Amino acid sequence: MPASDSGITKRVVLAAADIDRALTRIAHEILEANKGSRDLVLLGIPRRGFPLAQRLAQKIASVDPSVDPDLITGQLDVTMYRDDLRRNPTRSPLATQLPPSGIDDKVVVLVDDVLYSGRTIRAALDALADLGRPRAVRLAVLVDRGHRELPIRADHVGKNLPTSSRERVRVHLAEIDLIGGSAVNEVVIEDRA
């Protein structure tokens, strides 16, 4: 975390309306790729993947009224599966909550905010294998910023953001982030100039 804001330039690349539009499009893409909502499960990766998964489920439910958004959404913690546990300060695992129907033979869509090195998704795939055997696994991300270190790509991308590795991409979601006392939805690129 930066100690101060001095010397850091920030620019908003997605505002609240852009995020909403991107999620609407992703929701439609998911339904189209899956040919409907059958066997669909959305698993958000903490922390910001989970509210994104919930928003996507809401949008899917508004297109297909037979869907109960709570019954297709879950959270998948990947902390214990990371390959950098010994390189960083100890992380506390968060809860993994699967929908009541489980994930066996389902089409699982992993949902995360930013796709970067791909290592989180690798960990998520390992975690999934310990929980069950989905029929297929797809990946939806709000932002793909490039710089992949593993052969992983997203099926559904809100926005491709070419970045330099010096920059940081921060996603703020109203469910989690309060800035100056108010909830915000935005994607910001910070650059330590």
Partner 1 sequence: MKHLLSTQDLSARSALRLLDVAEEMAAVGEREIKKLPALRGRTVVNLFYEDSTRTRISFEAAAKRLSADVINFAVKGSSVSKGESLKDTAQTLEAMSADAVVIRHPASGAPARLAASGWIDASVVNAGDGTHEHPTQALLDAFTLRRHWARLGGMPSAGSTLAGMKVLIVGDVLHSRVARSNVWLLTTLGAEVLLAGPPTLLPVGIGSWPCTVFYNLDDALAQRPDAVMMLRLQAERMNAAFFPSTREYSRRWGFDDGRLALLDTMGLDDTVIMHPGPMNRGLEISSAAADSPRSTVLAQVRNGVSVRMAALYLLLSGDQRDEHDDQTDDPTALIPEGRTP
Residues that bind partner 1 (CB under 8 A): 45-48, 77, 79-81, 85-96, 112-120, 126, 130-132, 143, 145, 165-166, 168-171
How far apart (Å, rounded) are the C-alpha atoms in residues 76 and 95?
7
| Closest distance to partner 1 from the beta carbon of 125 (Å) | 12
Q: Output 67 or 114, the one with its CB closest to partner 1.
A: 114
Cis, bond preceding 86 (omega within 30 deg of 0): no
Q: Output 36 or 105, the one with its CB closest to partner 1.
A: 105
Find the helix or strand (DSSP H, E) in which 141 lies: strand 136-144
Contact 88, 38 (CB under 8 A): no
| Closest distance to partner 1 from the beta carbon of 95 (Å) | 6
Q: Output 26 or 44, the one with its CB closest to partner 1.
A: 44
Half-sphere exposure of 35 (CA within 13 A, CB side): 0
How far apart (Å, rounded) are the C-alpha atoms in residues 51 and 28?
18
Q: Output 155 or 167, the one with its CB closest to partner 1.
A: 167
The CA angle 84-1-16, to the nearest 5 degrees, is 100
Q: Output 31 or 78, the one with its CB closest to partner 1.
A: 78
Task: Considering only CA atoms, give the Rg of the chain.
Answer: 17
| Closest distance to partner 1 from the beta carbon of 63 (Å) | 28
| Closest distance to partner 1 from the beta carbon of 18 (Å) | 17
Q: Output 40 or 114, the one with its CB closest to partner 1.
A: 114
Contact 122, 83 (CB under 8 A): yes
For the purposes of burial, counting CB atoms within 10 Å of the CB of 68, is it exposed (0-12), middle (13-18) or buried (19 or more)? exposed
| Closest distance to partner 1 from the beta carbon of 29 (Å) | 21
